[in-house]
Structure 1
Amino acid sequence: MAAPYPEPEPGWAITWHSGDRLPRAVADAVLTIGAHGLATRGVAEEAPADARPVVLASGVYDRSVPGERLLPLPSWTGLDIDPAPAAWRQTLDLRTGVLTRTEAPVDHQRPLRTVRFVSAVRPGIVVLRAEATPGRVKPGDALRAYPGTPQAHRTFDGQYWLASAPGIAVAATHIQRDHDGVEVTERIAAYDTDGTARAEDLIAAVRRASEAGFDRLLTEHRTAWAARWTDAGVEIDGDTDAELALRYALFQLWCNVGGTTEAAVGARGLSGGGYDGHVFWDADVFILPAVASMAPDLARAMVSYRLHRLPAAKSAAAERGYAGARFPWESASLGVDVTPVTGDLGGETVAIKTGLWEEHITADVAWSAWHYARWSDDTAFLRGPGRQLLVATARYWTSRCRLAADGTAHIDTVIGPDEYHEGVSDNAFTNIMARWNLRTAAELVERATGSSPETRRWRRVAATLVDGYQPGTGRYEQFAGYFALDPLRIDAVATPPVAADVLLGRQRVARSQLIKQPDVLMAHHLLPDEPAPGSLVSNLDFYGPRTAHGSSLSPAIGASLLARAGRPDDALAELRTALRLDLDDVTGTTAGGLHLGAIGGCWQAVLFGFAGARVADGVLWLDPVLPSAWSRLGLRFGCLGRRVRLDIDHDDVAIETDGPLRVRLPGHADITVTTRARVALRTSQPRSTR
């Protein structure tokens, strides 16, 4: 009966001990496991149903509540244990995707041990095994409803439990038997989150999994995870802490991103109910670029989520009197704006205006589709649905722009990524993204059908859209009038990361140059060729000291840009902050779910920042730089339809691929790598400062 559960290899385990300083609810989020758009928090098996959902699925929302929220599904992990363990540890094995729980030794009884996993091979199949002294574990109900949810339970044929709600159905069974004096309880459940499977189909799926047996299910699951780590991974010589945290980041991206025909990825993924599971720009510009380098099919599913809601975005634009498509700041099942209108800030009820004014998301969505296609070399996508998306968003920006008497174009009354300043005009990031959107849409259309009055108009608006650039200083003014604000720096009031608006008050911060997160700098991150050449460093030097990192999204982007600017040691300091946000509950909010955008940003910081990777014209560009604490950085990722491995040290970079790949490094002519190559890094060569 007992399958081997080897201890995880060093550098591959996240462990929580009962009594640790981190609250239990934080551990539940950190120990999330999942696959194929279904995830389960790391709750203890005997834990009663509480205020936090245990099982969530991509795109499955409860529409009966205002604004929608992810629907808590029936839990499959519950067991009645008497006595309940007093002390234990849980170990998340990142290499195999298995969560184990081991009780501290107890007199006169066998310590409880449980093993669970969400199958990486069989979509919707989840498996639990518990081993204990006979009579101590009573399986009870195989499926346990979250309080207040409209899920009906019934026992079918005395063996299978069934539960259903609008859009979901679940079947489960369990067995209990004695094996050499140890009582073993095994449970298998099958979830259908499309709302299409019949009860008979789910029971058949449970029966097939049961017939395969726990050992086979575990073996095939481990094999699938081994393949994942072959496709994407990281090794860092000289920094085991960063190496483990980055592996954890990749692990949780695999666990929290998925679906069938599309992937709706909320700000907290599927690890908790924070932000009600709504989809923000986090998905488009922080999570998708990381996922595209790991699993292009999942990135395409994320883009499909937006494409399927393009009609809703067109309706939203029309309702405001504009052409094209306007995507909502917060989205759920239907693609309409579900941003709340009020919220709590330090105990004060405040108006939330992001749904009205944070419009850069429309260009962010277009950028994510373009990035997916360019990174994965999906040229057909840009000739079809991708082009339709960029055209619809370009039409929005054309109608949204105000043309002044002097011939310049402006975008008034917006909120940029820096949400400390609301209702501003000519936000540099928004305008640069809109300009890029207009030009890229024109290029795609003209490549297919030639120039037209509409594409020429797009180009004219793009050419006249102001961006606040000041050639004398090399800086972009974040928005019109920003440079006239109080030149307050964050080091004068606190050590970041800090919520400056809570610390100082919204009005005080709004009158100052303090910013929540990179704003102008986000344009350098997403579109390194759009800002003026050489402007990255001047803007880093100006905006960096004014950034409070009041958003979890912020530190990783700072790390990426600092690395690109040739400051790897400073970049590593910011990366460490980003890597520990959830593992140390830095913001005190991880209990509501992992900050998946920050997790995606960490991988971007390493791949795009330290490795200097980007794609242009079907070529992989590399511009590596390592912090002094790292002697070697090894990366595995997918790009341009190839599997790529980089081994970077301070002198050279080794490149391996599984097929021909064009590569460009500074100071070298382009090379075509067919299997492997080693290129010397010219340390005297100045790094790109775009």
Structure 2
Amino acid sequence: MSEPEPVEPGRRFEAVVFGWSGTAVADPAEDAGRLRKLVEELCAHGLDLYLVTGARLPEVDGRLQARPVGPGRLYLCVDEGSEVHRVGVDGTRLVHRRTATPAEEAALDRAARVTVDALARRDVPAAVVPRLNRRAIDLAPGTEEPAAAVRKRLRASGRLSLYGIVELATDAALRAGLPDPRVTSDGRYVQIGLTDRADAARWVLDDLRRRGIAPRLVLFAGAAFGRIRGVPGADAPLLVPEASRSVAVSVGAEPAGVPAGVTVLGGGPARFLALLADQLERRRRGDVPDVDDTPDWTLTVDGLDPDLERVHETLLAIADGRLGTRGTPLLAHPATDPGVRAAGVYAGTGADSELAGCPDWTTLPGTVSDPTLLRRRLDLRTGVLRQDGPVAALQFSSLARPATVVLRAEGPPGRLPGTDRYTLPGPFAAALSDLCRDGRLDRLGGYAPDEADARAARATAEELGFDRLLAEHRAAWAARWDAADVVVLDGDPELQLAIRFALFHMMASVADEGEAAVGARGLVGGGYRGHVFWDSDVFVLPFLAATHPAAARAMLEYRIRRLDAARAGALRRGNRGARFPWESAVDGFDVTPSFGRLPSGEIARIRTGEAEEHITADVAWAASCYLDWTGDTEFAEGPGRELVLETARYWASRIRLDSEGRGHIYGVIGPDEYHEPVDDNTFTNVMARWNLKRAAALDGAEGACWRRLADALVDGFDPMSRLYEQFAGFFDLEPLLIADVAPRRPIAAELLLGVPRTRASQVVKQPDVLMLHHLVPDEMAPDSLGANLDFYEPRTAHGSSLSPAVHASLLARAGRFRDALAALRIAARIDLDDISGSTASGLHVATMGGLWQALVFGFAGVRPRGDTLVVDPRIPPQWGGLQIRLRFRGKPFVLRIDHQSVELDAAGALALTRRDGHWEVHAP
């Protein structure tokens, strides 16, 4: 358990786990009226309560008779961890039961019989009392002798101590064939069981985890943690390792002391009821909830550094898929840049369109007078931002109710506003209410395009209240993590935090209803004006397709609703089908600016809107990626089919055949934007080929023509060297290795070498040929990855934040673990260390998607292939393995991968088969 800490006065807890006899009641037969009242009121104020006992349900529920309404929950964990019942207004409902097998029942009977016989030979009377999943050995059969008297009698007899009886029973249980017998005693009974209170504690902590409540926010209370005559106390099994960050207190006498980490309060049930009353008072007055700041789940920023503040505000941002809010201090400071943005809400037109700023909901009166007092903690587990300083506060944007915002704060007079209800106009209006009392503020609000809808959202928030909103928000985040978490086993805690940081912001950036316009910098900055690029389709969508398909489907809906605009874009260029724009905003027409400023400050023409056409195939690839993971037949037969066919029609009209029948695509820009425009860019050609082949399988009428065009397209491959030429003439450029001339990478090659030399050399901005090995490896020549890594990696400047993650993935596939881990670390720290110097203007959400792909596609080797999921791991020796949560064809599962094996946990919904040197996940 954690180090002892004072509990009175203490802090607000989110759950209390407590014993029954001796803790909550002095005598199980006494009236529990005061306890009942406290339990019901605490549940009404959002506290979760778990009563853990060896007694049976009727004995406990019949005496307690609580019927709470929530939002807090009451659970009765009875029969020494064998059953759990949830209690509501309509009574109790069984939610968990450990059911013994016939063999286990027989073993329990044998163990109990052997124990009683052994006691009889020592003149110790005993009888077996059958219980659920256990057998109680009554040491005073036929009498009302209390436990203390039984212990005294055993000591006086000199025959066998209570500890000796427990040892005897344990030995009998092992000999009877029980591999993990749970033998406990309260003095009157020695119980041989399959479960004990440790099972209840683990069930409780897992239930709390599924609802977003971490161990540090949990209070364990008992009366017998210490040993009694050499036997562990009845509450000792609650001290499971998973509860090491929880607080444990004993209200018992504990004459033999307690285990490390348990605080002895004494005072019996009266003291425990006082603890509950204290928790109720804290909730009534509106104490600010704390967070469990574990190092692999919490991003902490202390103080306020003016030079880094805008970066920190980006890192600490919170979002719900619809609304994003920067993690700005609540009090004003000249270095801060508060900002609220709504997905898909743009101001301006054409290239000047940008994500519109929305009214701010976080500002409080006053200024930051002493920045050293400020501390901000972003809890990635639950999507809440805790701020401490002159004002303590917790704020979140509800994942359960997107565009609903919640702030609770406490502070001295003058730091908090008065009670008020108001509406702030804007492109995404805000309706807020401030309820301020006794130095505490609850601010609840809603955002919507229409002010009336915003007021309706506010009214709903007011009706629900802070505690219910927090509970459902935590549960929503817990569900998302349960579907998406990635753990590096025995790995670097810093890397683990970076992974979760990336997954958190991707999940927070994408709505899962309607359409989702995912800009290059998410919802928390104005970088790239919030325009939608290929980044979201190729880097972000695969993560969502494999973990939260509804959000991936919403991203595709954004493209589908703009298919007509893409058709118009193709038509304007004299082509058929659909051509998606390089930069998109509201209506799906191209909003790429014509001119921009280079890193050197020079104004240059921007040609990506004219020539970076691979995005058309990228969008089709994203739709196919979604289909491969989900098997969504409705999408496949409807809008998905139309999208793939229309993009193929574009490529069919774009390809030019030469006199020898070879296909070419002239005048394009590939992912390597240092070279523009070029002919027969390999990435563009191979993606177009893939697009045509995928579409050919869907359409018999045009399919034959598309297959011929796909086969005719040149791809620059040389079978002798196994190299792909990035574009026609690339091998004729200066063979410059940026790795040899740059002081470090990533680096902007245009600044180091100048634009003319960069364009005249073989220096590459980001993976181009190598990107094909990552996206469509089956389209590439067998055994060609190694040669192309050797050639292109030292030529790559990593001038795009997308680059390191792709290299990490491919280097892992090639088994080059030292270089793979170095690239992975760069990708993981792009924003956390502000490597590109641009994090102040928003998050690199596509890089975050690339990080996930490096872990899942690269190191874990997971890829859909038809109706199966191939798993072909490459685990570096520095790691113990990977644990990955995914969803395939509607079925969630967990993969645990180490250096020798792969384990699948899918509750029987999927099966794992070893085949041809790899594993396959498939329907059973």
Corresponding residue number in structure 2 for 1:579: 828
2-side partners of 1:211 and 1:241: how far apart?
A: 41
Deviations 1:637-679 (Å, cap 9, x if unpaired)?
222211121111111111111443355655358766679xxxx
Deviation at 1:89, TM superposition (A): 1.2
Corresponding residue number in structure 1 for 2:51: none
Structure 2 counterpart SS, 1:59? strand
Distance 1:665 1:163, change over 3 A: farther
Structure 1 counterpart SS, 2:429? strand
Do 1:619 and 1:664's aligned partners in 2 also have CA atoms closer than 8 Å?
no
Tell whether 2:382 aligns with 1:96: yes
Corresponding residue number in structure 1 for 2:647: 393
Distance 1:44 1:611, change over 3 A: same
Corresponding residue number in structure 1 for 2:468: 216
Tell whether 2:360 aligns with 1:75: yes
Deviation at 1:568, TM superposition (A): 2.7
Deviation at 1:395, TM superposition (A): 0.8
Deviations 1:305-331 (Å, cap 9, x if unpaired)?
001100000001101111111110000
Tell whether 2:711 aligns with 1:468: no
Corresponding residue number in structure 2 for 1:341: 594
1-side partners of 2:511 and 2:783: how far apart?
A: 39
Do 1:642 and 1:659's aligned partners in 2 also have CA atoms closer than 8 Å?
no
Deviation at 1:136, TM superposition (A): 2.9
1:186 to 436, 442, 448: 442
1:45 to 307, 324, 330: 330
Q: Which moved more, 1:169-178 or 1:268-277?
A: 169-178
Distance 1:672 1:72, change over 3 A: closer
Do 1:53 and 1:272's aligned partners in 2 also have CA atoms closer than 8 Å?
no
Return the structure number with greater relative CO, CA threshold 8 A, min gap 6: 1
One-letter code aligned to 1:94:
L
1:127 to 406, 409, 422: 406
Deviation at 1:70, TM superposition (A): 0.4
1-side partners of 2:351 and 2:852: how far apart?
A: 35
Q: For structure 2, which runs of at least 5 residues remain unmatched after alignment?
A: 1-285
Aligned counterparts, 1:221-300, within 5 A: 221-236=473-488, 237-258=490-511, 260-300=513-553
Distance 1:669 1:418, change over 3 A: closer
1-side partners of 2:919 and 2:895: how far apart?
A: 17
Corresponding residue number in structure 1 for 2:110: none
Q: Which moved more, 1:395-404 or 1:379-388?
A: 379-388
Determine which structure has more spread, i.e. the larger CA radius of gyration: 2
Deviations 1:582-635 (Å, cap 9, x if unpaired)?
000011100000111101100110011111000011101001111121112111
Corresponding residue number in structure 1 for 2:705: 457
Tell whether 2:427 aligns with 1:170: no
2-side partners of 1:496 and 1:672: how far apart?
A: 38
Do 1:326 and 1:396's aligned partners in 2 also have CA atoms closer than 8 Å?
yes
1:491 to 739, 742, 765: 739
Tell whether 2:661 aligns with 1:384: no
2-side partners of 1:64 and 1:408: how far apart?
A: 41
Deviations 1:376-428 (Å, cap 9, x if unpaired)?
12133122111101111111111111110111110001000000000100000
Aligned counterparts, 1:445-594, within 5 A: 445=699, 451-452=700-701, 454-494=702-742, 495-594=744-843
Corresponding residue number in structure 1 for 2:888: 639
One-letter code aligned to 1:313:
A
Distance 1:606 1:79, change over 3 A: same
2-side partners of 1:434 and 1:654: how far apart?
A: 37
1:304 to 540, 545, 557: 557
Do 2:405 and 2:446's aligned partners in 1 also have CA atoms closer than 8 Å?
yes
2-side partners of 1:410 and 1:220: how far apart?
A: 55
Corresponding residue number in structure 2 for 1:150: none
2-side partners of 1:206 and 1:21: how far apart?
A: 34
Structure 2 counterpart SS, 1:444? coil
One-letter code aligned to 2:388:
T
Do 1:52 and 1:272's aligned partners in 2 also have CA atoms closer than 8 Å?
no
Do 2:579 and 2:647's aligned partners in 1 also have CA atoms closer than 8 Å?
yes
Q: Which moved more, 1:293-302 or 1:48-57?
A: 48-57
Corresponding residue number in structure 2 for 1:148: none
2-side partners of 1:217 and 1:550: how far apart?
A: 43
Q: Which moved more, 1:433-442 or 1:211-220?
A: 211-220
Do 1:34 and 1:40's aligned partners in 2 also have CA atoms closer than 8 Å?
yes
Corresponding residue number in structure 1 for 2:660: 406
Do 1:169 and 1:191's aligned partners in 2 also have CA atoms closer than 8 Å?
yes
Do 1:383 and 1:444's aligned partners in 2 also have CA atoms closer than 8 Å?
no
Deviation at 1:263, TM superposition (A): 0.3
Deviations 1:22-63 (Å, cap 9, x if unpaired)?
610000101111113211010111236999561111111113
Deviations 1:48-104 (Å, cap 9, x if unpaired)?
69995611111111135753100100010011126644321110011111101112x
1-side partners of 2:333 and 2:411: how far apart?
A: 20
Corresponding residue number in structure 2 for 1:327: 580
Distance 1:71 1:259, change over 3 A: farther
Deviation at 1:207, TM superposition (A): 2.4
Deviation at 1:217, TM superposition (A): 1.5
1-side partners of 2:316 and 2:907: how far apart?
A: 34
Distance 1:340 1:49, change over 3 A: farther
Deviations 1:218-269 (Å, cap 9, x if unpaired)?
1221122111111111222121111111011110011111164100001001
Percent identity reads 51
1-side partners of 2:621 and 2:576: how far apart?
A: 19
Superposed CA RMSD: 1.9
Do 1:130 and 1:184's aligned partners in 2 also have CA atoms closer than 8 Å?
yes
2-side partners of 1:53 and 1:307: how far apart?
A: 33
Structure 2 counterpart SS, 1:466? coil
Do 1:636 and 1:644's aligned partners in 2 also have CA atoms closer than 8 Å?
yes
Tell whether 2:877 aligns with 1:609: no
Deviations 1:485-513 (Å, cap 9, x if unpaired)?
11100122212100101221111001100
2:415 to 128, 137, 140: 137
One-letter code aligned to 2:417:
P
Deviation at 1:121, TM superposition (A): 1.1
Deviation at 1:292, TM superposition (A): 1.4
Structure 2 counterpart SS, 1:114? strand
Do 2:291 and 2:386's aligned partners in 1 also have CA atoms closer than 8 Å?
no
1-side partners of 2:464 and 2:884: how far apart?
A: 35
TM-score by length of 1: 0.89
1:203 to 455, 458, 466: 455
Q: Figure out how many residues of one structure are paired with residues of the other and give that number.
A: 635
2-side partners of 1:399 and 1:218: how far apart?
A: 54
Deviations 1:507-547 (Å, cap 9, x if unpaired)?
10011000000000111111010011111111111101100
Deviation at 1:291, TM superposition (A): 1.7
2-side partners of 1:669 and 1:605: how far apart?
A: 18
